[in-house]
Chain A
Amino acid sequence: MKVSSWGNIENEDHNCVFINSTRPDLSKLDRPILAYGMGRSYGDVCLNPSSTLIRTESLDRYIDFDIESGVLTCESGVLLRDIQKLMIPQGWILPVSPGSQIVTVGGAIANDVHGKNHHVHGTFCDHITNLVIVRTEGDVLSCNRTENSGLFYATIGGLGLTGVIVEATLQLKKVAGPWLETETIPYYSLDDFFQLADMSESEWEYTVSWIDCFSPEGRGVFSRSNHTSKVKNEPNQKNTLVMPFTPPMSLVNKLTLKPFNKLYFFLNSLKKGKRLMFYEDFLYPLDHIQNWNRMYGIKGFYQYQIVVPHKNRKETISKILSEITRSKQGSFLAVLKTFGNKKASGLLSFPIPGVTLALDFPNLGVTTLELFNRLDDIVGSVGGRVYAAKDCRMSKEMFRIGYPLIDEFESFRDPGISSALSRRLLGS
Chain B
Amino acid sequence: MKKIVIIGATSSIAEHCARAWNRQTDVHFILVARNIKRLESIVRDLKVRNPRVKVDCCSVDFMDASAIQNLADDIAKEGIINVLLVAHGALPDQNEAVKKIWLIRESIEINAISPVLFAEAFASHMISANSGSIAIIGSVAGDLGRKSNYVYGSAKSLVEHYIQGLRHRFAGTDVDAIIIKPGPTNTPMTAHLNLEGQSLASVKSVAEIVVQGIDQKQSSIYAPRKWAFIMFIIRYLPNWLFNKLDI
Contact = CB atoms under 8 A, between A and B. Distances in A.
A in complex with B: yes
Contacts of A345: none
In terms of DSSP, what is the predominant structure of the interface of chain B? helix
Interface in B5-58: 12, 41-42, 44-45, 48-49, 51
A2 B197 CA distance: 10
A62 interface: yes
In terms of DSSP, what is the predominant structure of the interface of chain A? strand
A86 interface: yes
Nearest to B50: A86
Contacts of B196: 1-2
A65 interface: yes
Given A1-B196, A2-B196, A22-B41, A62 B188 contact: no
B247 interface: no
Interface string A338-358: 000000000000000000000
Interface in B195-223: 196
B191 interface: yes
Nearest to A90: B51
B37 to A, nearest CB: 11
Report, as a range, how many residues of chain A touch the other chain.
20 to 34
A227 B82 CA distance: 42
A18 interface: yes
Interface string A28-64: 0000000000000000000000000001001001111
Contact of A61 (B42, B188, B191): B42
A86 B48 CA distance: 9
A20 interface: yes
A16 B41 contact: no
Contact of A65 (B12, B41, B48, B191): B48
A117 B51 CA distance: 31
Contact of A62 (B12, B49, B191, B194): B49
A261 to B, nearest CB: 35
B188 A64 contact: no
9 contacts: A16-B191, A18-B188, A18-B191, A20-B12, A61-B42, A61-B44, A62-B48, A63-B41, A65-B48
Given A61-B45, A62-B45, 11 more contacts: A1-B194, A20-B188, A55-B191, A58-B12, A61-B41, A62-B48, A62-B49, A63-B45, A63-B48, A65-B48, A72-B48
Closest 8 CB pairs of A and B: A62-B48, A61-B45, A18-B191, A65-B48, A62-B45, A20-B188, A61-B41, A18-B188
